[in-house]
A and B are shown apart, each in its own frame.
Chain A
């Protein structure tokens, strides 16, 4: 799939949208405008943007506690997301979900999730549903390297392979699970080996290379749409910031994250260079896209701050259909 100049520009814009959304989320959290916890996707943007770039609007994704990037990549509205972070009535969940629970059923986002591994069954169910309804929709299930140790992956992965479901299990190996490195908690040498136990192909990709993610996930999606079953994709990346905003990061050397912030590794800078070197973009153009993303985020914050709180009676709404 060749990408037009406009499409490439949009991908670059989206990377910045996610980066800047999370920068804003971090700042608002530190200003005590958010409640609970919030998790940033900083450094992993190319995974969501690359993967979602091969999806159609009617395809599905499930997301995680670190979900802002997935939702934005699938086409989520930053204004309604920001309003949700501030607990406003105009938010995606009417202020009832917050940072960890953003969903947009209209664009196939079946929810971020507070339960590690909580999306695995749901995504597999969406893929099953597509086969029963006779559509060629596919589902991407985003989850972390830590989540790959949840039992439900074994169960759902087996069924997906048995039933040749149109799903991509997209494991983001960001090297951490909460306050521990994730590696010491996996007996397999490479995460993709887990795919063998489910009986499906396993592929590993550089998650900080947007076009590589797009290629690998694109092939998996094509297989899935053609009825050839699921794929287990491991995107190798790095959680540049703390587990949650406010995490003092006492458990890892600061130099480590610095390396991943460097122009050589940072997914946005890498993609930007590629656009200039191989696709005829000018640095002024890139700067313009970056600024445009900043404007969108600023506008989202304004919208969120000016939005009303839910009414007390809303407490009782939406418990049942």
Chain B
């Protein structure tokens, strides 16, 4: 490596190209680092990433129709859904053949449930028809068109077949359309009827309320963080325990406590009535609505705002303020022009944290939100555990994830993510 005048690559002492020997040295380091994080990586992969992706994939996955009615779906391809006429006998025959197999495997009710998301009455139609078709013989009893219409006159309704045909592809955008208050029809995507349009409104409400919660956390948290950062270390540590105290009580207990505080016969109303500030017959409604959710969630998420703010403010030297004042700035100007801009990374970090936590929050809105104060996640939970419409739940979850990512990206563009300091 002494006198490397040729314009070839730099050579290491043993004559191998320097780049290559550097890469080799680094590779070893990288391997060791990889080995160290491997357990965590595997854990995250199996317990987090794979489940999330399998869940998200349900939002477009729709193989149940094809799997349950393979012959019918093939036959339906030849049928023009817009013709206004019923399909011909081969479709009916194929349907009965499929159903006999499905009934044997007890799969036909699942299909009914699936199609019921799109058209009410499908679930009972499949259950009822199932009992009768069970007794038919796909070879001997043909033709079936009349017989099926006898079983249930819905089989003579073009709409029933249109639903089956529309939802037969293995990949569907139906769940996503449902998630934004639309539905898949043979004519393409259309809005849901007025009375079924709730999800977009719910998304909007979730976003707005999360913003309000983030805002109130900033307003309440900023002075607290400021005081903590400016107290002597020992006092600050004691007060810090008070800030963290809520973490040591169960979330459920805290939320329920707000119920006690906020209800119409609750502590706050009683005090206000006693003070004469509120008439006995017009007590404030602060629970089971948006107010309740905002109050309780602000309280619960406040530490997540205070902690990053505090850690940023701690690094702001008091000499900056003194310098500003020595140059003629009033207390307010010194704060606003110097301290506040320097504390923005803390506000940013706290806001992101609180907002992302709030937007997906579930327990608190469920308990204190009533019907007007629930979030989109409550709807997701409902579809997962009550209506069992996992596809829709997955679609809602995906949209939520995408919204958060978009906001994160926008935040990065506006404030800059490197301006965020989490600790």
To the question of whether A and B form a pair in one complex, the answer is no
Binding site for B on A (CB under 8 A): none
